[in-house]
Amino acid sequence: MTFSGDELWANGVGIVEWAKKHTPDDNLIYADGHATQGRSLLSVECLMGMECRIIGKHTSKSVGLPVAIFKEDVCMEEKVYFITRDNFHDLKMVVLSTCPIEVDYEVLYRRMTPEVLVQERESCREYRKGGKDFDPKPFETDEWFDSWCHDSLIRTEGRIYRASTTFEGYYEGMKEAGVPEGAFQRYERGRQEFSVEIRGSYVELMVAMQAITGEAIEFVMQRRRQEREKEKAEREQSKVGSP
């Protein structure tokens, strides 16, 4: 079966080629965002050493903007694709990998202190108390959080992380470009497809891409080490069984 990232990549075109074919009207207030995003993608392509193609577009502030895909060949054995879009407010990224990713949650999500979480919970409770159908049960667990802000909570190793929304409606242009529905899920350790909101600039985007790529490389290196150890053990075993 063809890996979905390969299909998306095959349908993409170069940044400059796409930009020339999708020039916005000069009278649009945010028309320069088209060129700015093109330059940003070219910069990421250069700094990360990853080729970039455009696989679709989305519209923000009446301007047609690119949905981009970056490709990383991992040691000629695995692949990681990063699909991105920028709507002037935030960056969204979808990761499609042929191998499990084990990056630290700190890289992709913000930590929350218990005190801040309690404050948000009480704010939500007070807001909803005025409704005639108020139900206190969701506040006994973390169920209230998703409906309150569309994000979700991850609790692990005594820490709390605020996982960004994976609702595909906020990942404008990606589904239309062919990103598989299963990729619109939050990151958890070992997943190969997931979606993340990058709260910051293209620098934060590159930090996340670099960390994910590093974990994919480590996966390949670990597999090679295991294969060498297995081969060594088999050789030793064959010597024992030889006359």
Taking only the tens place, the pLDDT of each residue in 72-86 is: 999 999 999 999 999
Measured from the Cβ of residue 61, the count of other Cβ atoms closer than 10 Å reads 14
Average pLDDT rounded to a whole number, residues 169-176:
92
- The tokens describing 16, both together, are 């400059």
Percent of the chain with pLDDT over 70: 98
pLDDT surpasses 60 at 1: no
Taking only the tens place, the pLDDT of each residue in 150-166 is: 899 999 999 999 999 99
Question: What is the phi/psi pair of residue 14, to 5°?
Answer: -65, 155
Average pLDDT rounded to a whole number, residues 44-63:
95
Taking only the tens place, the pLDDT of each residue in 179-196 is: 999 999 999 999 999 999
Q: What is the pLDDT of residue 2?
A: 59
Look at the pTM and tell me if it is higher than 0.85: yes
Q: What is the pLDDT of residue 111?
A: 94
Question: What is the phi/psi pair of residue 55, to 5°?
Answer: -115, -5
Q: What is the Cα–Cα distance from 210 to 7, expressed in whole angstroms?
A: 23
Q: What is the Cα–Cα distance from 3 to 194, expressed in whole angstroms?
A: 15
Taking only the tens place, the pLDDT of each residue in 96-139 is: 999 999 999 999 999 999 999 999 999 999 999 887 788 889 99
pLDDT surpasses 70 at 236: yes
Q: What is the Cα–Cα distance from 117 to 124, expressed in whole angstroms?
A: 11
